[in-house]
Amino acid sequence: MIIINKELTALIPFFLFFFNIIILTLLISYSIKNFKNLTFTILAFFVSFLSLFFVIKIDPIDINYLLRIDKYSIFYSKVFLIFSCMICIMSYESLKNKKNNNSQFYLLILLSTLGCIILTSVNNLISLCIGIELVNIPLLGLMCCLGNYKQSLSSVIKYMVLSSISFSFLLFGVACVYIGSEGGLSFFELQRSLNLAIDDSIYVLLFGISFIIVSFAFKLSIFPFGLWISDIYNGMHSIVLSYFSTLSKLSLFISLVRFFLYIPYIKGKILYYLLEIMAIFSILFGNIMALFESNLKKLMGYSSMSSFGYLLAALLSFNSFPFFLDVIAIYICSYLASSVGIFFIMNLIDLNNKNKFKENIISSYKGLFWSDPFLAISLTIMLFSLSGIPINLGFISKFLLFCSIFNSHLIFLGIVSFLGTLLSFYYYFRIIINLYSFSSEFEKISFFTHIKTVPGFIIFLLDLFLVFFGFFPSDLIVWLNDVIVFL
């Protein structure tokens, strides 16, 4: 095992992360002052963010067939660092209200983000397993940090059981691939052995890969394996949800994209059919279940299920559309910004009105606009973006998605996603209309008081991001074209 200088440089962000985690552990044991720990966490994010700029100069680089660091992985690492930093800042207020100061929240989020960054650059099934566990195990701790203890405990137990089952599926799949590819676990070797495989051994390989897909489907909550989603979402605090529903799933999806680029279409046709069926059903099921949901958290769960269906559809449309990585990137950006924003807003409303929002029922947001116009307008923008109404980044991403789907002749999938979008309009509008209806008993908060605070400013930035790139998406596309050069 020889590691060259260059490879060490490429690993700097990971080392920095480890280092920071150790220091933070010591800090927490020394003092439990919330603010101090938060400052250090932000610093840690900032340092590793800066270090990514050094890595850009030497990409693409393989590290021992375990990780592959290229523009793709660096771009997503940056995005994840920014968003998890935001989540840390937003969590400060809610953590402050807790009786026993839960500074370990920052520690767990740092650990989990490390897993996300590893997942963006995995190139080997071993590192994939490590990354997935590194994302998921701290998540179990995170869920308990905030919110109602009893509720979150039940969702922790459910999620733990599910994730261990899915992990065992993953291990089984990896073992099968190991047999099929005669002792190779990296994606290159997988591709090579798929190309060379004769009738019998290809079945073993495909069997293994389909088990890996099943395990992914468990984690991404894609249709037949994602029925747990509403239960677990309901029990979690909205800050934790903003991490769980976006970063932890998206990092997995990004590794799935990389994994699938190594599977040749001709050999793995059956896998693509499998994914197509999953995508169709998760779009339909997620949207239909969300139609009848009156709990906002559960509704967001179902909507995230359908969003991952759309993302899978984007992944499937790879063969004839050269920009499909861009499409995925734009969709991920808009999904991240809008759903993280929605959870942030839910959290802020929770904090402002402590006793009213226990249930997260949609009707409890009645008349929000008349009491708190800033949050209501931001929530509207984010919901519009999720549903894909024009002049919004969400619309552009949906449009590009449909372009790529239809262009690769996946007509049925395209029509289903059309239908799903139509259905989604209905339930998003139901939320929006609640915000503006005329019965308010809130105390009035003016438009500008929010922007002066840090959380309000973050939400304002997210709004600006969504609307600005909705107007001028070409800049974003050009930029992404430069950034994401695969392989």
Q: Which residues bind another protein (CB under 8 A)?
A: 323, 389-391, 395-396, 399-400, 402-403, 406-407, 414-415, 418, 421-422, 425-426, 429, 433, 436-438, 472-474, 477-478, 481
Q: How far apart are CA 203 and CA 198, in angstroms?
A: 9
- CA nearest 363: which of 459, 440, 446? 440
Closer CB to another protein, residue 312 or residue 376?
A: 376
CB of 320 to another protein, least distance (A): 9
Torsion sign (Cα): 191, 193, 194, 195:
positive
CB of 381 to another protein, least distance (A): 12
Closer CB to another protein, residue 139 or residue 314?
A: 314
What are the structure tokens assigned to 455, written together? 């959380």
Closer CB to another protein, residue 94 or residue 392?
A: 392
Task: Note whether 297 and 238 are within 8 A (CB).
Answer: yes
Q: Three-class SS of residue 61?
A: strand
Give the CA count within 13 Å in the CB-facing half-sphere of 396: 23
Closer CB to another protein, residue 113 or residue 387?
A: 387
Closer CB to another protein, residue 353 or residue 437?
A: 437
Strands (E), 22-136: 61-63, 67-69
Peptide bond into 60 cis (omega under 30): yes
- CA nearest 455: which of 87, 82, 79? 87
CB of 410 to another protein, least distance (A): 12
CB of 376 to another protein, least distance (A): 11
CB of 446 to another protein, least distance (A): 10
Q: Three-class SS of residue 67?
A: strand
CB of 95 to another protein, least distance (A): 36
Closer CB to another protein, residue 313 or residue 400?
A: 400
Task: Note whether 269 and 138 are within 8 A (CB).
Answer: no
Q: How far apart are CA 188 and CA 262, in angstroms?
A: 7
Cα 103 from chain centroid?
A: 23
Interior angle at CA 399, CA 383 and CA 276, nearest 5: 95
Closer CB to another protein, residue 6 or residue 409?
A: 409
Closer CB to another protein, residue 105 or residue 402?
A: 402
What are the structure tokens assigned to 361, written together? 């029922």
CB of 296 to another protein, least distance (A): 18
- CA nearest 129: which of 176, 166, 84? 166
Burial environment of residue 56 by CB neighbours within 10 A (0 to 12, 13 to 18, 19 or more): middle
CB of 478 to another protein, least distance (A): 8
Closer CB to another protein, residue 15 or residue 426?
A: 426
